[in-house]
Amino acid sequence: RAELIVVGTGYRAIGDLTLEAKASIVQADTVLCLVGDPMVTGYLARLNPSVRTLDGFYAKGKRRQESYEEMVREILAEVRRDRLVCCALYGHPGVFAYPGHEAVRRTRLEGIPARMLAGSSAEDWLFADLGLDPATSGCQSFEASDFLLRRRIFDPTSLLVLWQVGVIGMTDRDLDFDARDGAALLAERLVAAYGGDHEVTVYEASPYPVTPPRISPVPLAKLADTQLTAISTLVVPPLPARPFDREVLARMRTAV
């Protein structure tokens, strides 16, 4: 009977839950969740009264990685009790989210079946809300602190999506975190590639159909003065495309 199913609850409160994710929650012996929105937690509890939230593992001053480690151990402890465990995480459970992947990996190492179901990520919602198609210029996604620290190489003529822009350099969970220093660092790096007038968008998907998403356009030079929160994602539109490589173009034509 022991099995782990990791599901995503997406962003639209309840509406993003797939039928398969819902069935997994209903069938489970134990449901563990990290979904943020109390309304979603309440809904999960109606589907399955065993629901317990993993929120308590976060704390100010405690390293986020330590909190994630404890969450994974908690999930594993339930699986080892010979239970069908469903772990519900907001968004896509495997996108910019460590505990789901790690719990699946460790559960399989113990010879117990484990799988992950896809959910709607913030990027899925921004494609819809901002009318963007990654096919147009390609799409690069980076975690903002990692983007800065590792000097990630990116193509400014391709769409750039930066995650966790409101928590650059934050290692714990600090609800009073001041995002300005990190935003200034990021602006410096981006201005060098795009120029200060380049208009970017701070995006926050809405949990409810009746509330619009936050779509705040801002020139890069003013990024540090803009409010960035733990749920902000930054969308940097591409510079004009480079001309085609003529040699490649010629070879493609001969190939057709």
| Residue 255 beta carbon to ligand SAM: minimum distance, rounded to whole angstroms | 38
| Contact flag: residue 163 with ligand SAM (CB under 6 A) | yes
Residue 33 in contact with residue 54, Cβ under 8 Å? yes
Choose the binding region for ligand SAM from 44-52, 61-69, 103-111, 227-235 (rule: CB under 6 A).
227-235
- 186-205 residues in contact with ligand SAM (CB under 6 A) are 203-205
| Contact flag: residue 238 with ligand SAM (CB under 6 A) | no
Interface residue with ligand SAM, options 30, 41, 67, 121 (CB under 6 A): 121
As a whole number of angstroms, the distance between CA 142 and CA 37 comes to: 25
Rank residues 2 and 160 by Cβ distance to ligand SAM and give the closer one: 160
> How does DSSP classify residue 136?
H
| Whether 90 is catalytic | yes
In degrees rounded to 5, what are phi and psi of residue 211?
-110, 130
Do the strands 114-116 and 3-8 form a parallel or antiparallel pair, or are they unpaired?
parallel
Rank residues 50 and 206 by Cβ distance to ligand SAM and give the closer one: 206
Choose the binding region for ligand SAM from 80-88, 91-99, 218-226, 236-244 (rule: CB under 6 A).
91-99
Place of tokens 């999960």: 44
The residues that bridge with 214 in the sheet, in sequence order, are: 204
Q: How many helices (H) and strands (E) does the chain have?
A: 9, 10
Residue 138 in contact with residue 159, Cβ under 8 Å? yes
Contacting residues for 140 by C-beta, under 8 A, at least 6 apart: 154, 155, 158, 159, 160, 161
Rank residues 54 and 95 by Cβ distance to ligand SAM and give the closer one: 95
Rank residues 31 and 34 by Cβ distance to ligand SAM and give the closer one: 34
Q: Provide the token pair at 50.
A: 């065993």
> How does DSSP classify residue 207?
S
Do the strands 199-204 and 233-236 form a parallel or antiparallel pair, or are they unpaired?
antiparallel
Interface residue with ligand SAM, options 75, 91, 103, 235 (CB under 6 A): 91
CB nearest ligand SAM: which residue?
91
| Contact flag: residue 231 with ligand SAM (CB under 6 A) | yes
Catalytic residue among 11, 43, 90, 194: 90
- 11-30 residues in contact with ligand SAM (CB under 6 A) are 11
Q: Which residues bind ligand SAM (CB under 6 A)?
A: 11, 91-92, 95-97, 121-122, 163-164, 203-205, 230-231, 233
Known catalytic residues are: 64, 68, 90
